[in-house]
Amino acid sequence: MASFGIEAIRYFSHARAAGVSTAGDLSFTFNRSNGFDAKLRAAGHTRAFYWANTDCWETDIRDSDQGGGDRNWVDNVDLFWIETHGGHEEDGRARLLYDTPHSEWRTYSNRWQLGEDWNSEWVMAYSCETVRRERVTGLWNIFARMHIYCGAWETMWDGITTDECGEDVADNLVDGDTVHAAWHNGVSDWWVDNHPITVCVGDAATWNNGNIRWDRSYLNRDHLWGHGNVDADLAPAQQACILWYWTEG
- Written as one letter, the residue type at 247 is T
Instruction: Provide CB contacts within 8 A for 239, sequence distance 6+.
Output: 140, 143, 201, 202, 203
CA distances 157 to 16, 87, 130, Å, are: 21, 14, 13
Q: How far apart are CA 147 and CA 216, in angstroms?
A: 13
Predicted local confidence at residue 117, as pLDDT: 67
What phi, psi does 245 have (nearest 5°)? -145, 125
Residues of the chain with pLDDT under 50: none
Q: At what angle do helices 29-42 and 165-174 cross, to 10 degrees?
A: 20
Q: How far apart are CA 217 and CA 238, in angstroms?
A: 13
Q: Where are the beta strands (DSSP E) in 9-102?
A: 46-52, 79-83, 86-88, 94-97
Are 41 and 70 in contact, with CB atoms under 8 Å apart? Answer: no
Q: How far apart are CA 171 and CA 38, in angstroms?
A: 10
Number of structural domains in the chain? 1
Give per-residue burial for 29-38: e unless 16+ CB within 10 Å, then b: bbbbbbbbbe
**Which range of residues forms the domain containing residue 167?**
3-246
Q: What is the distance of C-alpha 129 from the center of its chain?
A: 12
Predicted local confidence at residue 23, as pLDDT: 96
CATH number at residue 209: 3.40.50
Enclosing H/E stretch for 36: helix 29-42
